[in-house]
Structure 1
Amino acid sequence: MMRRLGVSLYPDHSDFEEDKKYLELAAENGFSRIFMSMLEVTEGKEVVFKKFKQVIDFAKKLEFEVILDIAPAIFEALEISYDDLSFFSEVGADGIRLDLGFDGNKEALLSFNPYDLIIELNMSNDVAYLDNILTYEANKPFIYGCHNFYPQDGSALPLDFFIKCSERFKKHGLRTAAFITSQTAELGPWDINDGLPTVEMHRRLPIDVQAKHLFATGLIDDVIIGNAYATEEELVSLSQVNRYQVSLTVDLVADINEVEKNILFDNQHVRRGDITAQMVRSTEVRKKYKQEENPLHDNELVFQRGDIVIGNDTFGKYKNELQIVLEPHSDNRKNKVGQIRKEELILLDYIKPWSKFVFSQK
């Protein structure tokens, strides 16, 4: 399934002109879906329709997919029925996200709505909610899953719970989404905004690392910035994230040579299938560069987790093999060529047997 980037908008709290600028910038950087909150509308049906339609119409010109986040109170406030979703079709949305669920049968029926609206379900509960819906023969191509975000510091999901919830959806082959948070944006649905991540450990991480981590789990297809408006720098950094394999940012040592740079950056790395606990081994490069000399430098060290080392001229057949250190050890037959960005060490857990990975320079 193709992986995507998304942004969030809050038309009841934002300015239309600012929304337009934000969407244009996001589109330029490869973003293609929008989470649009409709949880806090306070005006009448006609005003709400006009306000949301102008934003959605503009978004559709930029080819965004738009999902509206709704709750039962919205149907009451706008005097519309779950049995008639024409309002959401006419406003231009591609789908609706059900912040609260029903009995399973209702969601299954909604997935057969005559407007082909996507029905997006809340993923942030480790219960058999989805299984129940699917037993009612739901229209699976029109079912998505999307986690919650959590504005209060300390209130987002722990990683292990997030994994369990996500696995419930991913095992059925559904499109899944989760939220990351800008470190500067201040706009969200409520008056508390300590950031809007799905996973608590992401709350203060650089935004690109959050996205890398979600993609690395293999459980999330769409990564959405929860708060608005992210900076241009943040949007650009996300546009450069590799969505399909782990890409590690490296701080290089001063004495790295050209051969080592080529080994590091100009190759597709693959972890050996017969793994070791001490390091990740990329062995094909040693064959490609076996004739290249690699003098000793930065080799009289205790290598630490996240260090990247390459076999030097004293390492025999293992010369020019690249390794990522997982456990501290010493071996003067290896040159340290760099270290992985501290915040990205969490990604090492996702380099499995036969995993593909690449490097980029900080």
Structure 2
Amino acid sequence: MIKLLGFSFYLDHTLDQDDKNYIESMKQHHFNEIFTSLHIPEENQALYTKRLQDLLKVAKKNDLKVFVDIDQNSLANLPNELDGFYLRLDDGFSNQDIAEMSQTNPLALNASTLTKDDIKELQKYQADFKNIEAWHNFYPRPETGLDFQWFLKKNQWFKSLGITTQAFIPGDEKLRGPINAGLPTLEDQRNNDRLASAIQLTQANVDKVFIGDPRLSLTYQEEFADYFNNNVLDLTLKANDNIPQDLLNQILHNRPDPAAKVVRVLESRQMNQRNQTLIAPNNNIPRNIGSITIDNQAYGRYMGEVQLTKTDLPLDKKVNVIGHLDTNSIQLLPYITANSAFKLIPKE
């Protein structure tokens, strides 16, 4: 389940204590690489170099790898003694230059513009493909992010070559200006749940998922850590309603034989049997997608079974609606498969 997670930090300001706290928090939640961009104006060369040095110092303290997006001019302007980072090469480098650099250092190239001819040239110049990764761009302007099917085919090609792939999803706590519309690779993910977006990327042959924007909230940091390290999906409730307390903040599981239209909570009927509770019909309303339901006494031996609806279902007098997932968590339902673990988290 563990995929490599990364985040972005930009050199548009002097690194302060709040930044250090954020970087440490991301590391604690298993984000292991940093992306930054360094296009140095000649008149500000010393300033940007100092900011990069400060970032590298904090990254080293937290055992974080740093990839720097850079063009030829900025690379030439960097002091020779500055090291401890890897390059994400912007357009403008020749394939011969790339091949020579790959023989001594890991490199990230622009995934969207790499072609079969480029690969042939890199092979000709004896590039070390173990040191080459393919990184997609992010797209600040709405409507310009990549098409999913094209993206998928491109990644399948990289996989056939044994090349590591990377892509971006937006942050949520602080978006990067001046457009402030998120920094996704895929246009369809611009306004989606961040964890759902990350999972979709991992299922589309992406090895590294990075947050494109400057900040990811602590709530999402915890959700990412739970999923990518503990294999547990955190589902947030829209309202607690009549959900039994013993279902909240507990690790629950989908059945090993997954149903098409609902998630069947494996532990629920056993819980009800232990409590020996008779469940009367109540709140028998249409079961919209994301509804949390419990079968009442009219369902006989199924009484006490809790389900999460994966699609809109009609009213059933044998089924009580006891709660609903929030809009973002509904986007996580497709990723609950056989034996999947998840938690129902009350909304704060």
For Structure 1 versus Structure 2, the TM-score category normalised by the shorter chain is: 0.7 to 0.9
- Unaligned 5+ segments in structure 1 are 81-85
Other-structure match for 1:24: 21
Corresponding position: 1:156 with 2:138: no
Distance 1:184 1:211 in 2: 16
Distance 2:53 2:179 in 1: 27
1:176-215 map, 5 Å? 176-182=166-172, 184-187=174-177, 192-205=179-192, 209-215=193-199
Other-structure match for 1:342: 327
Between the two proteins, what is the percent identity of the paired residues?
25
Corresponding position: 1:110 with 2:113: no
Tell me the TM-score normalised to structure 1 length.
Answer: 0.75
Q: Would you say the 8 A contact 1:35–1:68 is kept in 2? A: yes
SS of structure 2 residue aligned to 1:250: strand
Closer, same or farther: CA 317–110 of 1 in aligned 2, 3 Å: farther
Which digits, 9 at most, give the CA deviation of each residue in 1:279-323, with x for residues without a partner? 233335434643432513544111111112222333233233332
1:37-186 map, 5 Å? 37-43=37-43, 49-75=49-75, 78=77, 87=80, 90-100=81-91, 107=98, 109-113=100-104, 117-124=105-112, 139=128, 141-169=130-158, 172=162, 174=164, 176-182=166-172, 184-186=174-176
Instruction: Give, in angstroms, the shift of residue 128 of structure 1.
Output: 5.4
Distance 1:291 1:323 in 2: 18
Give the letter aligned to residue 94 of structure 1: F
Other-structure match for 1:280: 263
- Tell me the C-alpha RMSD between the 2 structures: 3.6
Give the letter aligned to residue 319 of structure 2: K
Distance 2:84 2:283 in 1: 58
Distance 2:251 2:69 in 1: 42
Q: Would you say the 8 A contact 1:122–1:148 is kept in 2? A: yes
Other-structure match for 2:36: 36
Q: 1:239 aligns with which of 201, 216, 221?
A: 221
Instruction: Give, in angstroms, the shift of residue 50 of structure 1.
Output: 4.2
Which digits, 9 at most, give the CA deviation of each residue in 1:211-254, with x for residues without a partner? 342135434454433233x3xxx431222113334332122452
Q: Would you say the 8 A contact 1:3–1:243 is kept in 2? A: no
Moved more, 46-55 or 330-339: 46-55
Distance 2:43 2:221 in 1: 36
SS of structure 1 residue aligned to 2:202: coil
In the alignment of these two chains, the number of paired residues is: 333
Q: Would you say the 8 A contact 1:68–1:93 is kept in 2? A: no
Other-structure match for 1:360: 345
Which digits, 9 at most, give the CA deviation of each residue in 1:49-89, with x for residues without a partner? 444223312332232211101234434x53x8xxxxx94xx
- Unaligned 5+ segments in structure 2 are none
Distance 1:355 1:168 in 2: 30
Tell me the TM-score normalised to structure 2 length.
Answer: 0.77
SS of structure 2 residue aligned to 1:337: strand
